[in-house]
Structure 1
Amino acid sequence: MSHSTSARVRAANQAPSPQPQKDSFPVLMLGAIGVVFGDIGTSPLYAMKESFIGPHPLAVDRVHIFGVLSLVFWSLMLIVTVKYVFVAMRADNRGEGGSFALLALISSHLDDRRKALLMVLGVAAAALFYGDAMLTPAISVLSAVEGLTIVEARLEPLVLPIAVLILLGLFFIQSRGTAKVGALFGPIVLVYFGTLATLGVVNIAARPEILAIFNPVWALEFFQKDPRLAFLAMGSVFLAVTGAETLYADMGHFGRKAIGASWLVLVFPCLMLNYMGQGALLLANPAAVENPFYLMAPDWARLPLIILATLATIIASQAVISGAFSVTHQAIQLGFLPRFKILHTSEKSAGQIYMPAINWGLLVMVLVLVLGFQESTRLASAYGISVVGTMLITTAMLAFLLFKVWRWKPWAAAATIGLFALVDVSFFLSNIAKIADGGWVPLLVAGVIFTVLTTWAKGRSVLRHHLLADAIPLEVFVKSTAASVHRVKGTSVFLSAAREGVPAALLHNLKHNQVLHENVVLLTVAVEETPRVEAEKRLEMRSVGHGFTRVILHYGFTEEIDIPRDLAPISQHGIGLEPMRTSYFLGRQKLIAAKEVAGMALWREHLFAWLLKVSESAMDYYRLPANRVVELGSQLRI
């Protein structure tokens, strides 16, 4: 290979990174039903109840029942069906969805100023997601278990302990992976949705006039009769659409068509039948407002319904927890978080990961919420504001997409975004009233996480700047040093964050050991703004001469990094990688915050230094053999 040329090396003998398996369409639909719709599917447990007996109670009469149900229907239609199924899910980044995928898809089409703004929005959406991730298990499981008080009022003291035990069990089994229990998710949730529809139909049959709620005039009449209460009620109505973001975020797992078909053919009709059934029940018996979901069922069916609903909430919580692992992994890959310990729980599926730090952190927050609020009604006051914040950000990012990337006709793009913005802003303003009642909790968590994400990204930028400023050009180093230093057999691989210059670890090794291996590989791991990178584009190498080779491994932000596996093809070019004759050298900087730097306060420098200190070793994250790794530490003042 020429010294002056750069080449992409096709991994002929390399196993490509695992790709999503292509199951049959019915299997994908069943999987989507089990994983994607668990959150929004459990909303009937509390959304209708909270609309009437929440922080802003409503009279249980015809106008209010029809008005609330009309708002629920049109909210699901506009937000889930139109915004997410018909528009957002078309914005796939090579099949992947979610905030980070959308961010990466749009950013390459914008100038630096707009790209920076978009980056802030994407990071804010990710931070808000964690607020949702801790509230979903808390409110879902608690609301399901509260059904026991409908069966027997004396069981009320057991509700909290049972909910805590279920949540403890849920988080403790995460380390075992979800591959085995995941196969049960689809059928259980399918039975659950079938039960929702059946209960709804039975109650609708008794009061068929409830079908009139499809007419938006009822929503308008509700606002006309009592504008203030109607506006505040939207904060509770919004609980019916929480979980809509999951459709887009999980698109990479099941595909746009399977998720869209599942929603339109099964989930949406079942949800609306159940909501209308609850409305029909309230028309016949206003006192049932204490828990219309369970009171729709006859006495003999309530205990089985509680068990089924609890299973559905566990599945919904499992999906959110797994989503937190995935979002964290993407944030690490894209440089917004330090490395966390990642355990792979499945040999067949690359997406099956377990992150202990995230798992136990979420558990602590969920238990704090359950024990602090104690009732689903009180939790509902905190729920929704982080979700609507994420939806607002998605709308803003979609505006960039429609105008700058897809280049829709201005009037069409403006009308579409205007409609989405009107709905999202309305819900956002109505949810602001929840801040004082507990909505500050997820916002506080999101604020802390946003600070961590942006501090790490900024700190890495500052650190790279300082390292590059002191770096020696590789060609100069090779010409002046390589010929005069003693060379030993074998290969050394020096990991470097920068694609240019000599890594600090190489200079430290030469300073202390005064030898170089006959083959020296300077390796940079580059994470691209795409979910996956094709196998033939994975490895890029350039010979510098005198046994020095610059190698870049390219990865997508959803892929797992395995350096020994993906570096193997360089052996075809005479660079030996025998396990016992290859050493991996890692640099580990200890940061000393000495003064404020541009755009970074001193307290953020201290935070970044701490994050750097607790970051997981690159050895485990990059799957390097433990007995062949040498870590060389250094101190850096900024």
Structure 2
Amino acid sequence: MEEEAKIKEAPQKGLRQRKTSLADSLDLEAGKVFITASHSSKGWKTTLFLAFQSIGIVYGDIGTSPMYVFSSIFVDGIHNTDDILGVLSLMIYTIVALPMLKYVFIVLHANDNGNGGAFALYSLICRHAKVSLIPNQQPEDMQLSNYTLETPSKLKGIKNLKQKLENSYFARVMLILITMLGTSMVIGDGIFTPAMSVLSAVSGISTSLGEGAVLGITIVILIFLFYMQRFGTDKVGLSFAPILVVWFALISGIGLYNLIKHDTVALRAFNPKCIYDYFKRNGFKKGWLSLSGIFLCITGSEAMFADLGHFSVKAIQISFSFVTFPAILIAYIGQAAFLRKFPEQVSNTFYACIPEHLYWPTFVIAVLASIIASQAMISGAFSIISQAQTLGCFPRVKIVHTSTKHRGQVYIPEINFMFMIACIVVSVAFKTSANMSNAYGIAVVCDMIITSFLVAFIILVIWKKSIWLVALFLPFGCIELLYLSSQMTKFTKGGFVPLVLAFFLTALMGIWHYVQKERYMFELNNKVSAESLAKLVTKPNINRIPGIGLLYSELVQGIPPIFPHFIANIPAIHSVFLFVSIKAIPIATVASEERFLFHHMEPRDHRIFRCVVRLGYKDELGDHVEFESQLVQHLKEFITQTQEIIMHETEAARNVEQAPISPTIKNEVAQISQGYPINDTLDEEGKYRTSSKSSDSITLSGVAKSSTFSSSHVNRVEKEIEFIEKAMEKGVVYLLGEAEVVADPKSFIFNKIVVNYAYSFLRKNFRQRDKMMAIPRNRLVKVGMTYEI
């Protein structure tokens, strides 16, 4: 490990302040790290505008729940009108406890730089504890402007908990599996929400057209809905909010109408004694079973956290507290007042309680609202799949960024087609929204429980709150567990479908992540040493050819073992050669000026570099033209900056007569002089014709010698940049190692099944790495190699 060089502010006018390390714990030089200023807090006008937009994106699911909740609770009819008050009271306090208190006031604050969801929580935990299964963490990552860290807790109990988690491989595996399971539940919700919402909306015409026609119209709407995904939510986002505002105005207005006209006694449901009377009258078992239907009144609450990245915490808090919360509350109270007078209408409560002159306008708005509700969950599913893929937990799929304003708005063609087929199958299988309600709530409540677990861990370890505050948060999890236990009674009636789907998706993600981790460990354990690399590239039979060569590898800590394989098959190296690693960082975005890290490999006159390209889970690599331009530009800046740092250090040492030079700077100057001799010229291959002076001959006392060094420094930098530009003109060639991963013959049979069959199937049927990176085929070279894991 080389000693880290100290960075001083550049004395020259116009030179930007930089933070750069010439050597670090992973033998990697930081090419350029600018600390960007934190964003100023948004003004109230911007916050209110975001709050307005969030109405159309976030609340479609929970806002359309009044269409089917009462019919899902009283499946066998209403036998006692007082039960309506008990059920309404349960609904009121469920909405207050979970969406309002838990999500709006607690969970929204457990965000990762403004981004929500299970993988955002996992990323937040990974930054504060060493829980990642892939050992590619680097100290330089913590210098990123978005890589915010809290001060470690000094409480002994919390420190012990964190250490036990970091030291337990089983606990770290369980943590990533729980995160994957939570993500799978949201994906399942993204499949059931469109089918449930559209079926419920179209059921308003079931009496006139029949069940078959309703199903047919639902399928047509679903096909149209998924066809429209390719245009992106940004194209129609502004039109969503006005429709949902009209929707919330309608359901709250209809609710007030029914409350005033039919029975104001429904307001007694605010008295929690109604809940006690309800369970006393029906018995605990019957009351407990009804909880599975009552829970449907808060489906969609998880969207507030999952879609947080598009808006802000204040915007979500304002829109829910002042629009969504009162609107759905009044809608349920009005329906309860209507049912107390017309209990026989419970199977079609929503449409039956609409005043006659508002029936068709409400039907049209209901269909539009259900489409919007579907859009929100589908977009959320796309976002979390994109996050999972970036963090190595999902097979490669094509990610299309549909908005230049919001990086989180993405479209995934393959997943979109699978969602469409799944939604149609689910609709045909369940036929009615009442049947589908048996399966709909399970995925949502499971995701809520997992979110509660992860947030409780964050409160304790990251926020450093006492165990008593965590205990105050746990009742939310207990309520959710109670609802889950009721939902599980419908397991055989269709409740198994989302669970089977979730476990299948978790297994898929788990298999992919396991093999990716083992593949990385194989490369790490078999990496090429610096000495071996120097011997390999200096062999007389190795030719240098014009241009820039990029060898891709996931390894960030050395030279991948496939490089000697390349040399054995193609005994040539480009005049500028880079080992490139695309690394996922556990944050949402990495600033463009902070993405590239470089290290100059020995021998320096061969111009071989290592480059780590750091991306957040919302970032995109861009097309090859943009990527090549950025990489070469940062490489030139790296060369310039490295030379400037050494020059500034030497000038600072010159100011003190006979000042001693730090070993790091002397070593760097010696290496540079050995690689770039003073007053020499480059040949066609980019090598210097004469040998350089030894490091012992370099002294930094005396104005004349320092001036010579400064002049030669400028000359060297200009020549190097000119050489790289000429290499760029010759073209960039991409080198990919097609590593075939197979199970070790001595490994267990389970490992052989996972690696040789399951992973192999996924790798062959999902996108290949060169297609993911949009590499031109005429500039791609592949060499195969077998990894035994």
| TM-score class, shorter | over 0.9
5+ long unaligned stretches in structure 1:
none
Identity of aligned residues (%): 31
Amino acid at match of 1:413: V
Cα separation, partners in 2 of 1:352 and 1:578, compared to 1, 3 Å = farther
Residue 64 of structure 1 pairs with residue 79 of structure 2: no
Q: Pick one of 79, 83, 98 that aligns with 2:102.
A: 83
Aligned 8 A contact 2:310 2:406 in 1? no
Distance in 2 between the 1:428 and 1:104 partners? 27
Distance in 2 between the 1:173 and 1:421 partners? 37
Aligned 8 A contact 1:596 1:602 in 2? no
Residue 93 of structure 1 pairs with residue 149 of structure 2: no
Cross-structure match for 1:29: 51
Matches for 1:597-636 after TM superposition, within 5 Å: 597=747, 601-605=751-755, 606-636=757-787
Distance in 2 between the 1:608 and 1:341 partners? 19
Amino acid at match of 1:602: K
Residue 431 of structure 1 pairs with residue 487 of structure 2: yes
Aligned 8 A contact 1:3 1:543 in 2? no
Distance in 2 between the 1:627 and 1:137 partners? 43
Residue 571 of structure 1 pairs with residue 636 of structure 2: yes
Q: 1:91: Cα distance to partner? A: 0.5
Distance in 1 between the 2:483 and 2:469 partners? 23
Cross-structure match for 1:256: 313
Distance in 2 between the 1:277 and 1:221 partners? 21
5+ long unaligned stretches in structure 2:
1-19, 130-161, 640-720
Cross-structure match for 1:195: 250
Aligned 8 A contact 2:292 2:441 in 1? yes
CA displacement 1:147-181 (0-9 Å, x = unmatched): 013xx534443111100000011111212222222
Cα RMSD, aligned residues only = 2.5
Q: 1:579: Cα distance to partner? A: 6.0
Q: Pick one of 576, 580, 600 that aligns with 1:519.
A: 576
Cross-structure match for 1:541: 598
Amino acid at match of 1:26: L
Cα separation, partners in 2 of 1:403 and 1:461, compared to 1, 3 Å = same
Cα separation, partners in 2 of 1:51 and 1:4, compared to 1, 3 Å = closer
Cross-structure match for 1:476: 532
- Aligned to 2:397, the other structure's residue is in SS state coil
- Aligned to 1:529, the other structure's residue is in SS state coil
Cross-structure match for 2:174: 117
Distance in 2 between the 1:2 and 1:439 partners? 55
- Aligned to 2:528, the other structure's residue is in SS state coil
Distance in 2 between the 1:308 and 1:282 partners? 23
Q: Pick one of 217, 221, 225 that aligns with 2:281.
A: 225
Aligned 8 A contact 1:494 1:503 in 2? no
Aligned 8 A contact 1:494 1:505 in 2? no
Residue 586 of structure 1 pairs with residue 749 of structure 2: no
CA displacement 1:459-485 (0-9 Å, x = unmatched): 112222233333321442124433532
Distance in 2 between the 1:513 and 1:370 partners? 56
Aligned 8 A contact 2:383 2:409 in 1? no
Residue 457 of structure 1 pairs with residue 513 of structure 2: yes
Aligned 8 A contact 1:11 1:535 in 2? no
Amino acid at match of 1:188: I
Amino acid at match of 2:192: L
Cα separation, partners in 2 of 1:412 and 1:343, compared to 1, 3 Å = closer
- Aligned to 1:382, the other structure's residue is in SS state helix
Distance in 1 between the 2:232 and 2:477 partners? 39
Q: 1:278: Cα distance to partner? A: 0.5
Cα separation, partners in 2 of 1:565 and 1:325, compared to 1, 3 Å = farther
Distance in 1 between the 2:425 and 2:40 partners? 38
Residue 214 of structure 1 pairs with residue 270 of structure 2: yes
Q: 1:486: Cα distance to partner? A: 1.5
Q: Bigger shift: 2-11 or 140-149?
A: 2-11
Cross-structure match for 1:324: 381
Aligned 8 A contact 1:70 1:218 in 2? yes
Q: Pick one of 410, 415, 431 that aligns with 2:472.
A: 415
Q: 1:183: Cα distance to partner? A: 1.8
Cα separation, partners in 2 of 1:314 and 1:524, compared to 1, 3 Å = same
Cα separation, partners in 2 of 1:133 and 1:441, compared to 1, 3 Å = same
Q: 1:130: Cα distance to partner? A: 1.6
Aligned 8 A contact 2:77 2:346 in 1? no
Distance in 1 between the 2:192 and 2:40 partners? 31
Cross-structure match for 2:679: none
Cross-structure match for 2:501: 445
CA displacement 1:561-601 (0-9 Å, x = unmatched): 23435423113333447265211211122234464746953
Distance in 2 between the 1:216 and 1:9 partners? 62
Cα separation, partners in 2 of 1:599 and 1:244, compared to 1, 3 Å = farther
- Aligned to 2:439, the other structure's residue is in SS state coil
Distance in 2 between the 1:269 and 1:3 partners? 58
Q: Whose RCO is larger (CA < 8 A, sep 6+)?
A: 1
Q: Bigger shift: 434-443 or 509-518?
A: 509-518
Amino acid at match of 1:132: D
CA displacement 1:266-302 (0-9 Å, x = unmatched): 1000001000110000011112212111111122322
Q: Which runs of 4+ in 1 moved over 6 A?
A: 18-23
Distance in 2 between the 1:163 and 1:566 partners? 47
Aligned 8 A contact 1:585 1:631 in 2? yes
Q: Bigger shift: 80-89 or 606-615?
A: 606-615
CA displacement 1:89-134 (0-9 Å, x = unmatched): 1111111111111111123333323433322211110111122111
Distance in 2 between the 1:204 and 1:402 partners? 41
Amino acid at match of 2:350: F
Aligned 8 A contact 2:597 2:612 in 1? yes
Distance in 2 between the 1:359 and 1:172 partners? 9
Cα separation, partners in 2 of 1:637 and 1:214, compared to 1, 3 Å = same
Aligned 8 A contact 1:235 1:431 in 2? yes
Distance in 2 between the 1:236 and 1:405 partners? 36
Q: 1:72: Cα distance to partner? A: 0.6
Q: Bigger shift: 198-207 or 109-118?
A: 109-118
- Aligned to 1:551, the other structure's residue is in SS state strand
Distance in 1 between the 2:180 and 2:576 partners? 41
The structure number with the bigger radius of gyration is 2
Cα separation, partners in 2 of 1:579 and 1:123, compared to 1, 3 Å = farther
Tell me the TM-score normalized by structure 2: 0.76
Q: Bigger shift: 565-574 or 356-365?
A: 565-574
- Report the number of matched residues: 629
Matches for 1:128-277 after TM superposition, within 5 Å: 128-149=185-206, 152-206=207-261, 207-226=263-282, 227-277=284-334
Cα separation, partners in 2 of 1:437 and 1:195, compared to 1, 3 Å = same
Q: Pick one of 548, 552, 558 that aligns with 2:618.
A: 558
Amino acid at match of 2:86: G
Q: 1:560: Cα distance to partner? A: 1.4
Q: Pick one of 518, 522, 529 that aligns with 1:466.
A: 522
Aligned 8 A contact 2:54 2:241 in 1? yes
Q: 1:444: Cα distance to partner? A: 0.6
Q: Pick one of 53, 60, 77 that aligns with 1:38.
A: 60
- Aligned to 1:7, the other structure's residue is in SS state coil
Distance in 1 between the 2:234 and 2:410 partners? 10
Q: 1:535: Cα distance to partner? A: 3.6
Cross-structure match for 1:102: 121
Distance in 1 between the 2:746 and 2:296 partners? 44
Residue 8 of structure 1 pairs with residue 30 of structure 2: yes
Q: 1:334: Cα distance to partner? A: 0.7
